[in-house]
Structure 1
Amino acid sequence: MTAVHEPLSEEAAARLVQVASLSSARFVIRGGGTRSLFSPPEGTEALSTRALAGITAYNPAEMTMTARSGTPLAEIEAALAEKRQMLAFEPTDLKALTGAEGASTIGGVFATNASGPRRFVAGAARDSLLGVRFVNGCGEIVKAGGRVMKNVTGLDLAKVLAGSHGSLALVTEVTFRVLPVPETAATVVVSGLNDAEAAAAMATAMALPVEVSGAAHLPESVRGRFAGGALPGEGAATVLRLEGLAASVAVRQEKLAAELAAFGPVSVLDAETTKALWREIRDAAPYADGTARPLWRVSVAPTMGHQLVAALRLETGVDAFYDWQGGLLWLRMEADPEAALLRRYVKALGGGHATLVRARPEVLAATPVFEPQAEAVAALSAQVKASFDPSGVFVSRMVG
């Protein structure tokens, strides 16, 4: 059984890492255990952030919060909700997809740069990160960034750690920006569009001065698995979210609906249904089906998404839906993950990133889960790794 270390303080964690850097010990970092597909690699030990928990500073007026990395995400969101504030990037919760147990932590959110539907207008998780405290691979405690936006010292260093999947350092504390919860929300639904028509409709919506905060396309194969099967209209559903003050949303909703009527039948969802729908889009709920069928999270240019799906459908069985105006695809394969085929098409359509989110253990072991890096990028990544963790103490097993 893999040994699990649960340091009670940042200093204790630093001592553990320092000893490991002078020996052959290697650690995988464990938060809530909800964002990892793999068992710890042979010969590694787990370094848990579970005891490094708690909100250490929260200034609603300045819209900033500081919390230790092991703080449960639910605790963060509950504290923000009391002040009607939120994490603008809508961190994903993929436990239902992967069958993971445990509670997601704020450290895990930033380690995987977990970003949901609002990402294409509000930025990713890393864009909300203001500062971090971390233990590097030499066992040194380092602080980067600060608690207010104007303090940018070390901010780039903090952003390097966001999305590093626990491979560079043990993040012990994070400081991040929050935003007010919108007063209300509505979703404009255009029914019956094919994937290419939906891409055009979403592009039209994004070009309008109506401040769309969510743009997704749900093909007919999946639309019945959203909102309890109660989405209005027939066929596929192209959905566009508006948020803000009630009077503003009403005006923008009317303008958007009028513009999109040229594409197909238009209807509108109320605030409660909107909230539930976009939570399901965020978490790829239709594919939380209790199976281990291969599931990919693919990021490409918004205009290329429907072309990628069309190409794949000519050669393999695939089910899909689109977020981020078509730039984020959730692809479920029927049997084989078809990694080589998928990545070949991604490259041919201008490039992007394909991450295998779910598959059977033996498939995961035999498939490159992350998009292979170009030679120059891989060389730069190696230099960054050597700077943070020269002895290779930290071994990543996390996925976004």
Structure 2
Amino acid sequence: MDLRPKTEAELAEMVAGLQAPVRLQGGGTRAIGQVAADDVLTLSGISGVVDYEPGALTLVAKAGTPLGEIEALLAAENQRLSFEPMDHRVLLGTQGEPTIGGVVAANVSGPRRISVGACRDFALGVRFVDGLGRVLKNGGRVMKNVTGYDLVKLMAGSWGTLGAMTEISLKVMPCPEVEATLALHVSAPEQAVAAMSAALGSPYEVTGAAQSGSVYLRIEGFAPSVAYRLEALEARLRRFGDIERIEAAASAKLWQDIRDVRSFAKHDFVTRVSLRPTEMPVFLAKAQADHSFETLLDWGGGLAWLASDKDALGGFAQAYCAAHGGHATRIKDAFEACAFQPEAAPVARLSQGVRQRFDPKGLFNPELMARG
């Protein structure tokens, strides 16, 4: 059964009457992990921009609002979602339209996170329906409002296991005047991480640092400032090898492809690994001893996307991360194995306690985070 409420009140009534668990869905573009439920609760019908104040840099939208609609509205005012949410459709081969509620629920963020923060850092307020059918709200519509800060951030990245979001308040930012990228022809992981670390440790405000074949470093802002910073950063990094510049639209397209991990779409298994940048080369060396895979490094090497045609790599990555303070998520898995990093026992008990508080009957996305 596919339940499709059109309003928050209708959603609350549906949830209050549920007799069996449901899988929460926005646009259906992020089919990650398994849910122990046969029925689907689709939230895309609760849609529309509620309030947008360009001067205050704030936007309020219903959770089912298509992300593309929001991005177009912001672009008309030369503004954007600075955390540049990833579009999973090419990588996962899914259809539909990403929604702003899905973006927040999964805390979807892109390469700029290293300089501006993640999606949850831009969340100002939220309205949602809990597992008892109660409408709850937290936070506000202005950047000064910090009431309920913890709960707003808690919902971001909860993957629909705590409640069904109906409205999101977000901070937005102006678009930069120009952007440009330096490409360093460095391939070894150790050299790549060293080059990215040198760039990020510089005063030149790098807003993206990734390796996909070459190392790419993005700089954004006013034209004179970008020109100066490019020259200075280029001089600092020449010791790593040859450098070329990628400008304007070509730079934007490059980072869109990195954001969406488009180069890995052909693979059956894609795992995202988060570790300390200094730990990442060690992990990759150990992984390469027994596994064959392609790598895309992001966020200065603290995040690695691994693509392969065998499933064993995902299990190895999760086991390694459990022992070294990181986490690995099987973003794409042909066999639909456990998607999310298993939590340590103390953390698992805390997580279960939070879920019990907001969804005591276990209606929303059961077992998604617990086993994947």
TM range (shorter): over 0.9
Q: Distance in 2 between the 1:301 and 1:158 partners? A: 26
Gapped regions of structure 1 (runs ≥ 5): 220-236
Shift of 1:132: 0.3
Residue 314 of structure 2 corresponds to residue 314 of structure 1: no
Superposed, 1:275-286 pairs within 5 Å as 275-286=252-263
SS in 2 for 1:47: strand
SS in 2 for 1:157: helix
Q: Distance in 2 between the 1:39 and 1:51 partners? A: 23
| Amino acid in structure 2 at the alignment position of 1:388 | F
Residue 336 and residue 93 in structure 1: after superposition, are their counterparts in 2 closer, same or farther (change >3 A)?
A: same
Partner of 1:230: none
Residue 26 and residue 193 in structure 1: after superposition, are their counterparts in 2 closer, same or farther (change >3 A)?
A: closer
Gapped regions of structure 2 (runs ≥ 5): none
Residue 347 of structure 2 corresponds to residue 370 of structure 1: no
Q: Distance in 2 between the 1:393 and 1:263 partners? A: 53
| Amino acid in structure 2 at the alignment position of 1:369 | A
Q: Distance in 1 between the 2:344 and 2:333 partners? A: 25
Partner of 2:317: 342
Partner of 1:13: 11
Q: Distance in 2 between the 1:140 and 1:277 partners? A: 44
Q: Structure 1-normalised TM-score?
A: 0.89
Is contact 1:144-1:154 (8 Å) kept? yes
Partner of 1:294: 269
Shift of 1:336: 2.5
Q: Structure 2-normalised TM-score?
A: 0.96
Match of 1:388 among 337, 349, 358: 358
Partner of 1:199: 193
Superposed, 1:193-232 pairs within 5 Å as 193-219=187-213
| Amino acid in structure 1 at the alignment position of 2:115 | V
Q: Distance in 1 between the 2:344 and 2:35 partners? A: 26
Match of 1:33 among 28, 32, 38: 28
SS in 1 for 2:225: helix
Shift of 1:346: 2.5
Superposed, 1:78-97 pairs within 5 Å as 78-97=72-91
Partner of 2:122: 128
Residue 384 and residue 398 in structure 1: after superposition, are their counterparts in 2 closer, same or farther (change >3 A)?
A: closer
Match of 1:332 among 296, 300, 307: 307
Is contact 2:127-2:135 (8 Å) kept? yes
Shift of 1:377: 0.5
* CA offset digits 1:191-223 (Å, max 9, x no partner): 13411011111111111110000001123xxxx
Is contact 1:28-1:397 (8 Å) kept? no
Identity of aligned residues (%): 42
* CA offset digits 1:252-274 (Å, max 9, x no partner): 00000000001111111111111
* CA offset digits 1:50-77 (Å, max 9, x no partner): 2100000000001000000000000000
Is contact 1:183-1:245 (8 Å) kept? yes
SS in 2 for 1:159: helix
SS in 1 for 2:240: coil
Is contact 1:36-1:397 (8 Å) kept? no
| Amino acid in structure 2 at the alignment position of 1:264 | G
Residue 334 and residue 45 in structure 1: after superposition, are their counterparts in 2 closer, same or farther (change >3 A)?
A: closer
Q: Distance in 1 between the 2:366 and 2:102 partners? A: 12
Runs ≥4 in structure 1, deviation > 4 angstroms?
Answer: 396-400
